[in-house]
């Protein structure tokens, strides 16, 4: 009897969850489907869902028009580079906050977060002038630095909450054994914190990949990532929904796939100290 009830409940749960999941995913699915239609089918009335002539034409046009490979490569380097830079700077900071807290630790953390609230557009001119002076305009390294700075507060906070959950006794023991601070961080702490670092890394890659203000405004041809790629397909002359969809799919596919494959790692560490 009880078994039947749970079985029944499981069916209801499954149906509801899948319905909601598909609803949330639908806009992406629709974009992917549209990217395989002809332009006429893309705006057909009534809309066609699956029964259309699948074509790769739009992808062909986009590939011919834009140097997709370079945009993709730039996105990978910039997102990856800024994340690695950020982790290198954030790990020691988060470590010291977690294990040698002072009265001001909390203030510093919240202050770091508050730097993210500066409206980016207000400082475009100052930053642009600075970039010209430093020769960083349209360089990948320049964008890596900016994106690292933008996301650093989030990285520090995530790592901090993760480190805090590591019991201090282990470190004490290591110290008793005569481990230096360096050894302590590299050999004991970091391995224990790998899941947290992995999750932080992933979240950061996503945030950096999707950042669309600085990546668009500080680049020209050489360092432009996928956000600039998509800006060349929005509102052309005429409504090219199918081509727009193809370009959109190409812009989000890499990060979507990465996200899906690593969602376990991402989710496991994505707590921001919310779980005690």
Partner 1 sequence: MFLRNALRAATALTLVAAGSAAADTITIATVNNGDMIRMQGLTDDFTTKTGHEVEWVTLEENVLRQRVTTDISTKGGAFDIMTIGMYETPIWGANGWLVALDNLSEGYDVDDILPAMAGGLSHEGTLYAAPFYGESSMIMYRTDLMEKAGLEMPDAPTWDFIRQAAAAMTDRDAEINGVCLRGKAGWGEGGAFITAMSNSFGARWFDMDWKPQFDTAAWANTLNFYKGMMDESGPAGYATNGFNENLSLFQQGKCGMWIDATVAASFVTNPNDSTVADKVGFALAPDTGLGKRSNWLWAWALAIPAGTQKQDAALQFIEWATSKDYIELVAANEGWANVPPGARTSLYENPNYQAVPFAQMTLDSILSADPNNSTVEPSPYVGVQFAAIPEFAGIATEVSQEFSAAYAGQQTVEEALEKAQALTIDAMEAAGY
Partner 2 sequence: MATQHSRSAARLMMAPAVILLLGWMLVPLTMTLFFSFKKYLPLRGGDLGWVGFDNYVRFVTSSAFWPSVVTTLIIVGGVLAITVVLGVLLAILLNQPMWGQGMVRILVIAPFFVMPTVSALVWKNMFMDPNYGLLAHLWKFFGATPVEWLSQASLPSIVMIVSWQWLPFATLILLTAIQSLDSEQLEAAEMDGAPALKRFGYITLPHLSRAITVVILIQTIFLLSIFAEIFVTTGGAFGTKTLSYLIFQRVLESQNVGLGSAGGVYAIILANIVAIFLMRIVGKNLDA
Cis, peptide link before residue 94, omega less than 30° from 0: no
| Angle subtended at Cα 252 by Cα 244 and Cα 228, rounded to the nearest 5 degrees | 65
CB 124 within 8 A of CB 217: yes
Interface with partner 2 includes 82 (CB under 8 A)?
A: no
Chain residues 133-192 in contact with partner 1, contact rule CB under 8 A: 134-139, 141
Quick note: the x/- pattern for partner 1 over 216-245, rule CB under 8 A, is xx--xxx-x---x--xxxxxxxxx------
Interface with partner 1 includes 202 (CB under 8 A)?
A: no
CB 172 within 8 A of CB 46: no
Tell me which of partner 1, partner 2, none is bound by residue 232, counting a contact when its beta carbon lies within the kind-specific cut-off of 5 to 8 angstroms. partner 1
Tell me which of partner 2, partner 1, none is bound by residue 14, counting a contact when its beta carbon lies within the kind-specific cut-off of 5 to 8 angstroms. partner 2
Q: Smallest distance, Å, CB 34 to partner 1? A: 15
Q: Smallest distance, Å, CB 10 to partner 1? A: 45
Quick note: the x/- pattern for partner 1 over 21-40, rule CB under 8 A, is ------------------x-
Interface with partner 1 includes 65 (CB under 8 A)?
A: yes
User: Helices in 66-176 by DSSP H: which ranges?
Assistant: 68-99, 105-114, 124-134, 140-164, 168-176
CB 223 within 8 A of CB 74: yes
- Under rule CB under 8 A, how many of the chain's residues touch partner 1? 34
Is residue 19 within a helix (H) or strand (E), and if so which, with residue range? Answer: helix 2-34
CB 144 within 8 A of CB 219: no
Interface with partner 1 includes 60 (CB under 8 A)?
A: no
Interface with partner 2 includes 267 (CB under 8 A)?
A: yes
Quick note: the x/- pattern for partner 2 over 208-247, rule CB under 8 A, is -xx-xx------------xx--xx--x----x-x--xx--
CB 183 within 8 A of CB 225: no
- The phi-psi region of residue 238 (left if phi > 0; otherwise alpha if psi is between -120 and 50; otherwise beta) is left
Question: Pick from 84, 166, 188, 206: which binds partner 2 (CB under 8 A)?
Answer: 206
Q: Is 104 helix (H, G, I), strand (E, B) or coil?
A: coil
Q: Pick the stretch among 12-20, 87-95, 109-117, 130-138 that binds partner 1 (CB under 8 A).
A: 130-138
Interface with partner 1 includes 260 (CB under 8 A)?
A: no
- Under rule CB under 8 A, how many of the chain's residues touch partner 2? 95
Q: How distant is the alpha carbon of residue 247 from its chain centre?
A: 19
Chain residues 126-185 in contact with partner 2, contact rule CB under 8 A: 126-127, 130, 149, 152-154, 156, 160, 168, 172, 181
Interface with partner 2 includes 56 (CB under 8 A)?
A: no
Rounded to an integer, what distance in angstroms lies between the CA atom of residue 44 and that of residue 216? 33
Interface with partner 1 includes 57 (CB under 8 A)?
A: no
CB 244 within 8 A of CB 181: no
> Which one, of 209, 232, 70, 48, lies nearest residue 144 by Cα?
209
Which residues sit at the interface with partner 1, rule CB under 8 A?
Answer: 39, 43, 64-66, 124-125, 128-129, 131-132, 134-139, 141, 216-217, 220-222, 224, 228, 231-239
């Amino acid at each position: 009897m009880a078994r039947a009830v749970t079985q029944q409940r499981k069916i209801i749960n499954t149906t509801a969850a899948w319905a909601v999941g598909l609803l949330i995913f639908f806009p992406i699915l629709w974009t992917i489907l549209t990217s395989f239609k002809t332009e006429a089918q893309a705006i057909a009335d009534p809309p066609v869902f699956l029964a259309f002539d699948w074509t790769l034409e739009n992808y062909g046009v986009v590939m011919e028009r834009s140097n997709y490979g370079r945009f993709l490569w730039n996105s990978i380097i910039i997102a990856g580079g800024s994340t690695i830079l950020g982790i290198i700077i954030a790990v020691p900071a988060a470590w010291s906050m977690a294990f040698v807290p002072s009265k001001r630790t909390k203030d510093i953390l919240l202050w770091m977060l508050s730097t993210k609230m500066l409206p980016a557009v207000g400082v475009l001119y100052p930053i642009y002038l600075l970039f010209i002076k430093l020769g960083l305009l349209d360089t990948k390294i320049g964008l890596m630095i900016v994106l690292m700075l933008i996301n650093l507060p989030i990285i520090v906070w995530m790592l901090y909450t993760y480190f805090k959950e590591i019991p201090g006794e282990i470190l004490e023991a290591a110290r008793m054994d005569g481990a230096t601070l360096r050894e302590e961080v590299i050999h004991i702490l970091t391995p224990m914190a790998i899941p947290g670092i992995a999750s932080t890394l992933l979240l950061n890659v996503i945030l950096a990949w999707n950042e669309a203000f600085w990546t668009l405004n500080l680049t020209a041809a050489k360092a432009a990532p996928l956000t600039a790629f998509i800006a060349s397909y929005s509102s052309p002359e005429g409504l090219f929904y199918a081509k727009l969809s193809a370009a959109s799919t190409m812009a989000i596919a890499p990060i979507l796939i990465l996200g899906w494959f690593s969602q376990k790692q991402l989710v496991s560490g994505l707590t921001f100290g919310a779980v005690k």
